Amino acid sequence: MSAHRKLAAILAADVAGYSRLTGIDEEGTLKRLRKLRRELINPAVALHRGRIVKTTGDGILIEFASVVDAVRCALDFQRGMDDRNADVPAEQRIEFRVGINLGDVVVEGDDLLGDGVNVAARLEGIAEAGGICISEESRRMSIGRSAISWTCASRTQASSSSRISLGRCRHIGSDLAKVHRERLPSHYPISHLSP
């Protein structure tokens, strides 16, 4: 099987505090996560024309032809999570961290590999629970094309070939809440979202 390259918008997401949640109630957490995928995530991915590349326990990697579709999908399922978590005690909430990158990927069969995927995974890793971090290229491509605006505070090097800026948002119901500007290590400057 030969590999080829293409440009794709990559959304990487995982559950913040997954080990803690499964330590408290493994079967209940897995049951809730399967239900969330079936009722919230899979429909959002389909609605926004994405393709689930793989799931890994608490993680999911999704490919989109459009970064705007990736951002809209992330917003849909983060808002849906806020609705579902409204009456759940904080220590029992399932909250996703999301990273979005637009970049070159290597296609091997049904799998995606390479720097484009790696940057999305790094962004997801530094997103706050319930938040979204995006690459600079994703920010530029989504300006004026989604229900939110992105403001870039600064940039940093995320890998040998990609520059990123970080977007963070929290949602209250269906509205975007005021964006926080939190301190991260100096090599993770923040770009933020505003409604």
Tens digits of residue pLDDT in 98-142: 999 999 999 999 999 999 999 999 999 988 899 888 888 887 787
CB 76 within 8 A of CB 45: no
Average pLDDT for residues 2-13, to the nearest whole number? 93
Structure tokens at 171: 């949602």
| CATH code (residue 52) | 3.30.70.1230
Full residue range of the structural domain in which residue 103 is found:
4-194
The count of domains in the chain is 1
Q: How far is Cα 121 from Cα 155, in angstroms, rounded to an integer?
A: 17
Question: For residue range 14-43, what is the model confidence (pLDDT) as tens digits?
Answer: 999 999 999 999 999 999 999 999 999 999
